[in-house]
Amino acid sequence: MQEQIKDKSKLQLSYLLPNLITTGGLFAGFYAVVAAMNGHFEQAAVSIFIAMLLDGLDGRVARLTGTSSEFGAQYDSLADMVSFGIAPALVSFSWILHSLGKSGWALSFIYAAATGLRLARFNCQLGKSEDKKYFTGLPSPAAAGCVAGLIWVAANLNIEHSALFAISVGALVAAIGVLMVSNVKYRSFKDLKLKKKIPFLLALAIAATYALIAVNPAICLFAIFAIYTLSGPIESSYRYIRPL
């Protein structure tokens, strides 16, 4: 009897763990908004990246423990809306887009609304037959990483908030939102065979990337997500003109 109670407790704990990690990601997204309201934009950007890390962790824990559930999937999606939709939009608005007046919050809203539409479309496509090698539209964590990375770099470099810079940031935030709801294909890297031997050059490149991130995380993370954001349109354009 006691063994059955222990097994049941372990099972309940294994189901609780992924949701606790999701809650941690939700808290990180919420804290990013609070930090931005108090003018701590670097902390806000870092919090969004922490939310991204936890978002990647909760799903893996659920799959490893065999505790994936519909509740967990829906909860994760709602947490993503806060961490990768509302948080980047409000942080960017508090940071510089407020200087554009109504245009600033309108551009921020475009990003937030696009995130909601992107997540809803992703949820509708779950379980349907599709090419697992690609995402349709820019994934919301990558979009948030691009916005948060820009804020982090600008905060580190103390870039002057000129009118031209504010307009450029607003255009970038809106463009990233459009990419999320577009039909542009982005590689998911789900076809990588990590169980096989990794080529030496690839292992060396991964090690070098980690070293660069450790030296200057702001610039390196922004560069990684900016390159990924541009990779979709570039690859789509290449596929379009290749037959010509």
Domains and CATH numbers, the chain: 2-241 (1.20.120.1760)
pLDDT reading at 178 higher than 50 = yes
Q: What is the pLDDT of residue 96?
A: 95
> In the prediction, which pLDDT does 89 show?
97
pLDDT at 9 over 60: no
Residue 171 has pLDDT above 50, yes or no: yes
Q: Which residue has the tokens 């290449």?
A: 238
pLDDT, position 94 = 96
pLDDT at 191: 60
Please determine, for residue 195, whether its predicted confidence score (pLDDT) is greater than 60.
no
Does this model's pTM top 0.85?
A: yes
Question: In the prediction, which pLDDT does 13 show?
Answer: 58
Distances (CA, A) of 186 to 48, 174, 198, 229, 235: 21, 18, 23, 8, 8
Instruction: Say whether pLDDT at 5 is over 50.
Output: no
Angle formed at CA 165 by CA 159 and CA 168, multiple of 5 degrees = 135
Q: Tens digit of pLDDT for each residue in 21-71?
A: 999 999 999 999 999 999 999 999 999 999 999 998 988 888 887 777 788
Q: Give tens-digit pLDDT for 196-244.
A: 566 666 667 777 777 877 888 899 999 999 999 999 999 888 877 875 5
CA angle 197, 136, 74 (to 5 degrees): 90
* H or E segment to which residue 159 belongs: none
**Confidence at residue 243, expressed as pLDDT on a 0 to 100 scale:** 58
Q: Rounded mean pLDDT of 150-179?
A: 94
Band of pLDDT at residue 160, cut at 50, 70 and 90: confident
Query: Which residues, 6+ apart, have CB-to-CB distance to 151 below 8 Å?
Result: 41, 42, 44, 45, 91, 92, 95
Q: How far apart are the first and last CA of the chain?
A: 72
Which ranges in the chain belong to alpha helices (H)? 2-37, 41-65, 70-81, 87-95, 102-125, 140-157, 163-181, 200-215, 217-241
The tens digit of pLDDT for each residue in 99-145 reads 999 999 999 999 999 999 999 998 887 766 566 788 899 999 999 99
